[in-house]
Structure 1
Amino acid sequence: MNNTVEDGLEPKLVYAVFFGSIMALGLPLNAVSLWIFLRCHSLRSPTAVFMVNLAISDLLLVISLPMRVYFYATGTWPLSAQTCRAVTMLFRNNIRSSAIFITFISVDRLLAVVYPLRSRHLRTSSSAWKAAALVWLIVSVVNIPESMDFKRFLNNLTESSCFEFSQPRRSPIAFFQPVLMFILLAVNIVCTALVSWTIHRHLNESARINNKVNVMLIFVMSLVVFTICFLPLSVGLLIIWTPAITPLICLATLNCCLDPLVYYFSLDAFWKKKEDTDIAREQ
């Protein structure tokens, strides 16, 4: 009996260490990135706007991780069912909003490289802020039916069942995230293919496309985040149910540590002050 209990506790302690490590890395990485965006960039480019919202999304995930660390370290949940539901929603909102903002960045880079002149009226900070507001609205609206589904299963919440409650297999809302992720992944793949083709086509025209390597690294990092973080969880939601899905949730939280790499490759002069960047543009 004691061996069984110990065997059950060991993986939970691993989860606690993993979430704690993600929190320790993700908090400074995203806080510093957000500080750099607000201090050194004018947020006049759509990419910078999407980056700010991506960093905010990752920080919202990070602030929910201490509760997961406590739960898996102690095996108990001392708070209410509503708090458990709210923390779960923060995680799901991060996965969805992060995937959408990363896709927006890929689409923005596609327009900048493949259709630089025709897309000028679309690629504005005003349009980016409107798109970001729409994303947060959609994510929040989806929470309503999802929270109602969770509420039925959390009414009998015990001190050891938070984050490991079962979900309805046939609930339509359960298919929203996997379908969304597959659509966004397809968009990222198409963007990567079109930009790669354009760059190779203009390989010898240095004035046509600057920083070719960085441009492709943006798309590579986006596909890495989707492949490692979003895709396994999306497939798991279709065929696996909690608590067996917890390892995939661990993988999904890695996105808040990988996203800062997307920031670095997506913005020219990421570490430069706004004035330096403006001078470089004028030249």
Structure 2
Amino acid sequence: MEDGHESNLVYALVYGCILALGLPLNAVSLWILLRRHNLKSPSVVFMVNLALSDLLLAISLPMRVHFYATGTWSLGNELCIWTTMLFHNNIRSSSIFITFISVDRLLAVLYPLRSRHLRTASNALKAVVLAWLFVGVLNIPERLEFSMFFKRKNNSTCFEFQHNVTINNNNRHYHKSASTYVSSMLELILLAVNVVGTTLVSWTLRRHLTDSASVNNKVNVMLIFIMNMMMFIICFLPMAVVLLLYGLPVSTPLLCLASFNCCLDPLLYYFSLDAFWKKKEDIELAREQ
């Protein structure tokens, strides 16, 4: 019991640190993106939605800090369910928006002229609306699953939902829900897209960019792709693999790792937008690149 209490305090501290970093970083990033960049380019549209997703996650973290610091949950089942879904929604939506950013940069590098009619703010807005709708649809079976959990096991816990379990020959078998399959496969597919995109962009930049000005731009572009891919590998992949292969309830350390993405995403905005800190009138030149 003592070890469990100490580990819970560690989780509370970790979530508290993520909250302390993620909340101000994403609030400031969202303010800068909206005030200085507007929604006039696809990259900004994707980044605004990514910052919003991370901000929603950060807002939900005080509930996790409360639960792990006190060891009990007294705020009701509904708040627990919605807070948990905010967490899952961040992982899904963040991975989608990060991939959108990679695809947008990929088209800009490989087909700078031919892709201009596709890479518009209007098309980006349509894409993010579809992404949020997709994430919302996944909430429906997931919410039913969480509600059934509370009906089966009425206690003062939260964030540690157990999947349906059967025991054969003293072995536990966890039944994976449809949302678990979809979420796990989504992460793996999006990771593959980022890996392919990184490979293609690296090959293209190595062949065509040789002068010193282009080299600086090349470094920035490659940093975007490398950061995106590392975000998937470090934050999202471990949880997706555990869910897909074993169907186990994801351990809290992996959830902590996944939530850390909201602290890393603001770095993406800085490297993606050459004029991130500049005023509106100075940004137009960067957009032509």
CA distance in 1, matches of 2:239, 2:288: 45
Indicate which of 114, 125, 142 corresponds to 1:118. Answer: 114
CA distance in 2, matches of 1:271, 1:53: 19
Q: Residue 226 of structure 1: which of 212, 222, 232 is its match?
A: 232
Q: TM-score, normalised by structure 2?
A: 0.92
- Tell me what 2:280 maps to: 274
What stretches of structure 1 of length at least 5 have no aligned partner? none
Give the Å deviation of 1:174: 1.6
**CA contact 1:113–1:209 (8 Å) conserved in 2:** no
Asked if the contact 1:49/1:125 (under 8 Å) is kept, the reply is yes
1:241 corresponds to: 248
Name the structure 2 match of 1:177: 183
Read off the aligned partner of 1:72 and give its amino acid letter. Y
Q: Could you tell me how far 1:151 is from its partner in structure 2?
A: 1.1
> In the TM superposition, what whole-angstrom CA distance separates every residue of 1:10-57 from its partner, at most 9, and x where no partner exists?
100000000000000000110110011011113211001000000000
Rounded to whole Å, the distance in 2 between the matches of 1:82 and 1:172 is 22
Q: Which residue of 2 aligns with 1:24?
A: 20
TM superposition score normalised by structure 1? 0.94
Q: Give matches, 1:12-161, under 5 Å.
A: 12-155=8-151, 156-159=153-156, 161=157
Which of 192, 215, 221 in structure 2 is aligned with 1:215? 221
Alpha-carbon shift at residue 171 of structure 1 (Å): 2.0
Q: Distance in 1 between matches of 2:44 and 2:228?
A: 16
Partner of 1:255: 261
List per-residue Cα deviations over 1:216-275 (Å, max 9, x = no partner): 000010011101100011112232623x61110000001000001111111121110111
The letter of the residue matching 1:13 is L
Deviation of the 1:204 alpha carbon = 1.6
Counterpart residue type for residue 181 of structure 1: E
Cα distance change of structure 1 residues 177 and 280 upon mapping to structure 2, 3 Å threshold: closer
Alignment of 1:163-202 (within 5 A): 163-168=159-164, 169-202=175-208
Q: Give the Å deviation of 1:80.
A: 1.4
For 2:283 and 2:137, the matched residues in 1 are separated by 38
Q: In 1, are the aligned partners of 2:9 and 2:69 still within 8 Å (CA)? A: yes
Q: Which runs of 4+ in 1 moved over 3 A?
A: 205-210, 279-283
Deviation of 1:282 (Å) = 7.6
Distance 1:208 1:279 in 2: 15
Gap change, CA 1:112 and 1:210, over 3 Å in 2: farther
Contact 1:202 1:208 in 2 (8 A): no
